[in-house]
């Protein structure tokens, strides 16, 4: 049974779809945001954005773009969580937020190898520490300086004013050089681009003598998959707009909250099938919400959708393999998928969009 | 409905036809002329050239690596900014699946093979292929750096086990054929080796690149896959690597073997810079080895991006990235190396590479065994195809290009001495009839009754690049899909995959292996129809006999 609301009142699905389509069609620049959805939902959402000349952004683009900015400005050596599991003899955990980003990390990767955790901060709780793990540094605030120190010493250059003793740094550098296949793990939600770039530079430098790779942990709500879909469908990552026909990418211009707060986007479609709450925006243009946790107070149109991999089969980014994979529904239900709701909205659009 | 293409010059080498005549299409197939010659719809194609739809055997158009390339290079555009005739590149925002299908179709291509699918990433590749409109697709699954195979060979389990494993991998990844990329070299790089040749052994496994390649060649042959083993040799891009290519050709030992992007292995060490063309020797070896086929991987000048599962090679090339950024990924078997690169007309090495490709095209005598590729996007984007065809068909045009290139580069090649010009018939063989044969697709690449009605009609033009850039008409499976060089609408083609017979025992063995090695079920990599999200996105092709 489909559930839909128009301005807080329970409504027939068809009526809600028709109203959503007319809001999007009347908009001069519709924003399609949130994008917490499976691959089919992302494909449908991007197709819709193309049709209505809108903009696409994901709720976790900020973290995605930090890693991507380092890659597309400097370069990166990467590996997969599966290769790390079978090959790594050493893990360099960098900063906090790792277990939050991937709760299965200890179970998947912590056994049978040496681990150094740099500046875990509050994450250095007893339940997160293991016999084979050494914690180096403490305050995540020190991380940029420590990484810079490691990289400098790796290159044989002097350093000063470090929060750690020179002996600690030099001994870690010696350790890093000795590993056979090391993997550095971080979560971009915790670091700015310069920290990530310094870390990736360190990893690249270590490959002059041994093998070392990086493993960035993906943002949640299927962000990594949605970025891939955007990549193949448009040639660009998220924060891409179709207002001028061909896709254009601009991380500043097409950032969701800026578009809303500035008034440039005059209508929004918010998609959140994994249960993330609605965004807090300063302005409130006409809003259509497709959500797995309907909160009927906020949006003009709310349509309940099923959770990918729970209510319906889905293709999602799997943290354990870093691949797109087909996932069977754990509790199949009749709840509609994002893709099917958007399909209905597209079908309800007037055929020619008024200029 | 019966459609008639009336009065064009029909060039159909498979059926020995090169004459002015008609082609009839009904229900998506080529049919015999009806007794009275009348049709429901007639397209007057007099003074135009009619060929089967073209087939590309090696073009990296889909998958995680291609998309990581897109994300790495938001500034990259399709179409190399070639020195001559200097047409404008495509606008930004066109390096995506939708434009890929449209641009291919506009040039008269109707089937394209994506040649590098890592088994664990096959779902993404098939999702991307499903979003490429108009053309049909097929994929080659990459093996040869994967632990399971190397371990089988290490334990000398024998050809039956290899064959079962190959069949299982093809089935889970919905592949059409098997490719090996720097066999063992990528696994060796993970163990910190920085160079790897045909008889080098992978540390920890004690098997050589040659052993791996031969085992896969045999398995592909015994499974009777329609396409022979597709080989990316060791030592890509290195001076003196012509020896590696010659040794690999010799290793074919009379069984079918396809060598991909041969241009990148055509380098000797002669001349003042220690870098020269080895194309003449290589072409001679290809001419003599009847079971070997090659595609070229032609280089054209301009900005592009190299995307390869040869992680070792790409790691070694990362410092020559232009612009200065790159992505290297140690994957589960092979991996990814994405290195942007600018082939420059003023660069000695790039000019030699350009010449080596053309020499190989022109010195390989049999157009049924040489295939037309740029290894898109590695040598150049596929949008450069029309310019390359023009170069092959016109020696004056070649001379004009050569006059703009460094003289010392041309001096270490034989290109200036080659007078051959490809005929339209040879072009039709190389881009239509021969690839259909190489892929075992009996109803493609020709215009005989029963063939799939994939048809390209070109204006006759002395400017061959112009002629091949925008087809006058293109039919895909009988449907008119391009008119006057513009796609009319997006229909969706299919992805061809093979069905092989296999033992059920391998299923259980692979489940155990994945549980033991990865703590996972191999279901995560299995490509199911339902996951692709487009109805009837696959077509199954039987094995030979």
Query: Which of B67, B72, B526 has the CB atom closest to A228's CB atom?
Result: B67
What is the rounded average pLDDT of the residues B229-239? Answer: 98
Which residues on B lie below 8 Å from A75 (Cβ)? Answer: 318, 321, 324-328
* pLDDT for position B75: 84
Which of the four pLDDT bands, split at 50, 70 and 90, describes residue A245?
Answer: confident
**Count of Cβ atoms closer than 10 Å to residue B224 Cβ:** 14
Tell me the pLDDT tens digit for each residue of B443-480.
Answer: 999 999 999 999 999 999 999 999 999 999 999 999 99
The answer on pLDDT for B77 being more than 80 is: no
ω into B323 cis (within 30 of 0): yes
Does residue B480 sit at the A interface (CB-CB below 8 Å)? no
Which of the four pLDDT bands, split at 50, 70 and 90, describes residue B79?
Answer: very low
Nearest CA-CA distance, residue A268 and chain B, Å: 23
Domain B51-487: state its class: alpha beta
* pLDDT for position A279: 85
Tell me the pLDDT tens digit for each residue of A101-133.
Answer: 999 999 999 999 999 999 998 887 777 778 899
CA angle B291, B295, B298 (to 5 degrees): 155
Which residues on B lie below 8 Å from A235 (Cβ)? Answer: 70, 74, 92-96, 99
Q: What is the reported pTM?
A: 0.97
- Of residues B544 and A216, which shows the higher confidence score? A216
Domains of chain A by start residue, with CATH: 4-60+221-348 (3.40.50.740), 65-217 (3.40.228.10)
Of B436, B457, B236, nearest in space to B353 by CA: B236
Given an 8 Å threshold on Cβ–Cβ distance, is B190 in contact with A246? Answer: no
Does residue B399 sit at the A interface (CB-CB below 8 Å)? no
Does residue B319 sit at the A interface (CB-CB below 8 Å)? no
Nearest CA-CA distance, residue B323 and chain A, Å: 9
In chain B, where the domains are located: 51-487
Query: Which of A74, A236, A318 has the CB atom closest to B524's CB atom?
Result: A318
Nearest CA-CA distance, residue A70 and chain B, Å: 9
Nearest CA-CA distance, residue A298 and chain B, Å: 32
Give the range among A201-210, A341-350, B534-543 with minimum mean pLDDT. B534-543
* pLDDT for position B83: 37
Which of the four pLDDT bands, split at 50, 70 and 90, describes residue B409?
Answer: very high
Does residue B331 sit at the A interface (CB-CB below 8 Å)? yes
What is the rounded average pLDDT of the residues B171-182? Answer: 97
Tokens of A355: 């200029």
The answer on pLDDT for B167 being more than 60 is: yes
In chain B, which residue's Cα lies nearest the Cα of A200? B327
The answer on pLDDT for A54 being more than 90 is: yes
User: Buried b vs exposed e over A167-196: b needs ≥16 C-beta within 10 Å?
Assistant: eebeebbebbeebebbbbbbbbbbbebebb
Tell me the pLDDT tens digit for each residue of A275-305.
Answer: 898 888 889 999 999 999 887 668 999 999 9
Tokens of B386: 């029309």
Residue found under tokens 């301005």: A7
* pLDDT for position B90: 58
- Of residues A277 and B501, which shows the higher confidence score? A277
The answer on pLDDT for B388 being more than 50 is: yes
**Which pairing describes strands B327-330 and A76-79: parallel, antiparallel, or unpaired?**
parallel
High-pLDDT (> 90) share of chain B, %:
92
3-state SS, residue A118: strand
Tell me the pLDDT tens digit for each residue of B101-146.
Answer: 999 999 999 999 999 999 999 999 999 999 999 999 999 999 999 9
Instruction: Please give the Cα distance from A5 to A298 (Å, whole number).
Output: 11
The answer on pLDDT for B88 being more than 70 is: no
């Amino acid at each position: 049974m489909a559930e839909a609301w128009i301005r807080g009142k329970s409504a027939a699905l068809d009526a809600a779809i028709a109203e959503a389509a007319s809001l999007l069609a009347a908009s001069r620049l519709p924003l399609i945001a949130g994008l917490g959805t499976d691959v089919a939902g992302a494909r449908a959402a991007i197709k819709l954005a193309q049709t209505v000349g809108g903009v696409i952004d994901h709720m976790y683009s900020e973290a995605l773009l930090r890693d991507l900015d380092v890659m597309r400005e400097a370069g990166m050596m990467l590996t997969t969580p599966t290769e790390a599991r079978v090959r790594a003899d050493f893990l360099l955990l960098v900063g906090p937020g790792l277990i939050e980003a991937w709760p299965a990390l200890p179970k998947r990767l912590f056994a049978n190898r040496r681990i150094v955790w740099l500046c875990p901060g509050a994450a250095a709780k007893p339940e997160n520490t293991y016999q084979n793990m050494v914690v180096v540094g403490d305050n995540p605030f020190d991380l940029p300086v420590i990484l810079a120190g490691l990289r400098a010493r790796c290159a044989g250059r002097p350093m000063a004013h470090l929060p750690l003793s020179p002996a600690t740094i030099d001994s870690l550098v010696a350790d890093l050089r000795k590993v056979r296949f090391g993997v550095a793990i971080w979560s971009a939600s915790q670091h700015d681009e310069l920290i990530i770039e310094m870390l990736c530079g360190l990893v690249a430098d270590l490959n002059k003598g041994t093998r070392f790779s990086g493993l960035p942990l993906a943002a949640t709500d299927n962000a990594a998959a949605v970025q891939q879909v955007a990549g193949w469908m448009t040639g660009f990552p998220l924060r891409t707009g179709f207002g001028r026909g061909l896709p254009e990418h601009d991380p500043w211009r097409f950032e969701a909250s800026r578009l809303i707060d500035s008034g440039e986007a005059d209508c929004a479609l918010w998609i959140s099938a994994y249960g993330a709450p609605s965004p807090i925006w300063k302005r409130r243009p006409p809003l259509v919400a497709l959500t797995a946790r309907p909160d009927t107070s906020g949006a003009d149109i709310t349509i309940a959708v099923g959770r990918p991999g729970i209510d319906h089969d889905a293709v999602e980014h799997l943290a354990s393999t870093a691949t797109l994979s087909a996932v069977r529904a754990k509790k199949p239900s009749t709840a509609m998928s994002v893709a099917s709701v958007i399909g209905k909205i597209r079908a309800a659009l007037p055929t020619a969009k008024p200029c | 409905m019966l459609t008639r293409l009336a009065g064009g010059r029909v060039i159909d080498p498979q059926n020995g036809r090169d004459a002015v005549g008609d082609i009839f299409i009904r229900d998506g197939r080529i049919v015999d002329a009806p007794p009275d010659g009348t049709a429901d719809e007639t397209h007057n194609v007099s003074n135009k050239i009619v060929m089967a739809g073209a087939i590309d055997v090696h073009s990296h158009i889909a998958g995680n690596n291609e998309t990581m390339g897109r994300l790495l290079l938001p500034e990259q555009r399709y179409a190399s900014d070639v020195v001559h005739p200097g047409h404008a590149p495509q606008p930004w925002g066109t390096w995506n699946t939708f434009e890929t299908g449209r641009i291919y179709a506009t040039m008269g291509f109707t089937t394209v093979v994506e040649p590098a699918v890592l088994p664990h990433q096959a779902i993404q590749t098939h999702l991307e292929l499903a979003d490429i409109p108009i053309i049909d697709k097929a994929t080659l699954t990459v093996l040869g750096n994967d632990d399971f195979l190397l371990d089988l060979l290490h334990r000398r389990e024998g050809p039956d086990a290899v064959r079962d494993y190959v069949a299982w991998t093809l089935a889970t990844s919905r592949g059409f054929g098997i490719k090996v990329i720097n066999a063992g070299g990528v696994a060796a790089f993970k163990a910190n080796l920085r160079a790897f040749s045909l008889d080098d052994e992978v540390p920890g496994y004690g098997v050589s690149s040659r052993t791996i390649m031969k085992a896969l060649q045999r398995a592909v042959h015994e499974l009777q896959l329609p396409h022979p083993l597709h080989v990316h040799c060791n030592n890509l891009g290195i001076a003196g690597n012509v020896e590696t290519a010659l040794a690999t050709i010799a290793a074919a030992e009379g069984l079918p073997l396809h060598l991909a992007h041969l241009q990148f292995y055509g380098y000797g060490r002669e001349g003042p810079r220690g870098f020269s063309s080895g194309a003449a020797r290589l072409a001679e070896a290809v001419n003599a080895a009847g079971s070997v086929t090659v595609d070229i991987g032609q280089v054209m000048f301009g900005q592009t991006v190299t995307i390869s599962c040869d992680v070792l090679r790409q790691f070694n090339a990362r410092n020559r990235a232009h612009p200065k950024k790159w992505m290297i990924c140690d994957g589960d078997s092979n991996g990814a190396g994405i290195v942007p690169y600018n082939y420059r007309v003023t660069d000695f090495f790039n000019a030699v590479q350009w010449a080596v490709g053309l020499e190989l095209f022109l010195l390989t005598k049999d157009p049924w065994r040489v295939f037309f590729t740029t290894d898109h996007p590695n040598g150049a984007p596929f949008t450069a195809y029309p310019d390359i065809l023009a170069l092959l068909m016109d020696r004056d045009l070649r001379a004009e290009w050569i006059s703009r290139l460094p003289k010392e580069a041309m001096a270490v090649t034989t290109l200036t001495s080659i007078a051959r010009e490809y005929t339209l018939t040879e072009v039709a063989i190389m881009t239509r009839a021969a690839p259909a044969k190489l892929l075992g697709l009996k109803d493609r690449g020709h215009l005989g009754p029963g063939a799939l009605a994939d048809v390209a009609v070109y204006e006759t033009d002395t400017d061959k690049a112009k002629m091949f850039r925008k087809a006058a008409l293109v039919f895909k499976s009988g449907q008119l899909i391009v008119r006057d060089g513009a796609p009319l609408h997006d229909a969706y083609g299919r992805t061809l995959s093979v069905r092989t017979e296999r033992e059920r025992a391998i299923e259980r063995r692979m489940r155990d292996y994945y549980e033991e090695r990865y703590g996972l079920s191999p279901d995560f990599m299995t490509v199911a129809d339902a996951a692709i999200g487009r109805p009837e996105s696959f077509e199954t092709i039987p094995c030979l006999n």
